[in-house]
Amino acid sequence: MDIKDKWIYLAGPLFTAAERRFNEELALYIEQAGFAVYLPQKECKDVAKPQDIFHTCIKGLDNAWCVVAVLEGADADSGTCFEMGYAYAKGIPVIGVRTDFRKSADDGFVNLMLSKSVQTLCVVNSLEITSIEEIAKRLKDEINKLLVEVMKK
């Protein structure tokens, strides 16, 4: 796969200031590691119509070599779940990121459908690690591992 003109699509909830800030900081750390990042909250900032937001995000997904999906809370954000499912159906690998230490009803960190649609789940227990830098470091390690696999294909 040729990824030189592709990016990492960062999917995650974006409805609170804390969520948007986390996404922005995570995107910045990924960019500092040398990867282009497509951040929907940034790309859709000036897009007003819901159908235009949808199509802008789909174009972002179609040009991604992988998706990083933030999977927090008792039930992951529905938009993020859609983006993961779309990526999975298109053969785009997904890396899940979770700092929430709570287990799901399926006895894992995320529900069964999400756990089976990710290439890897990067779990960083927020009781042990609180810095975004440490979360980003672990995520960059997972991205680099995935990059090696993708480049072999």
Q: Give pLDDT, residue 130.
A: 67
Classified by CATH at the fold level, domain 7-152 comes out as: Rossmann fold (3.40.50)
How many CB atoms neighbour CB 41 within 10 A?
A: 16
Reading the block at residue 98, the tokens are 């979770």
| DSSP H stretches of helix in the chain | 17-32, 40-43, 50-62, 78-90, 112-117, 132-152
Helix (H/G/I), strand (E/B), else coil: 132: helix
Residue written as tokens 């960062």? 10
Distance CA(90)–CA(85), nearest Å, equals 9
Using a cut of 0.85, tell me whether the model's pTM lies above it.
yes
The full set of domain ranges for the chain reads 7-152
Distance CA(109)–CA(94), nearest Å, equals 16
Instruction: Select from 131, 44, 147 the least CA-distant residue to 95.
Output: 147
Extract the residue ranges of the chain whose pLDDT is less than 70: 1-4, 104-107, 130
pLDDT tens digits, 98-115 = 887 777 666 577 777 888
Backbone angles phi, psi at 76, to 5 degrees: -60, 150
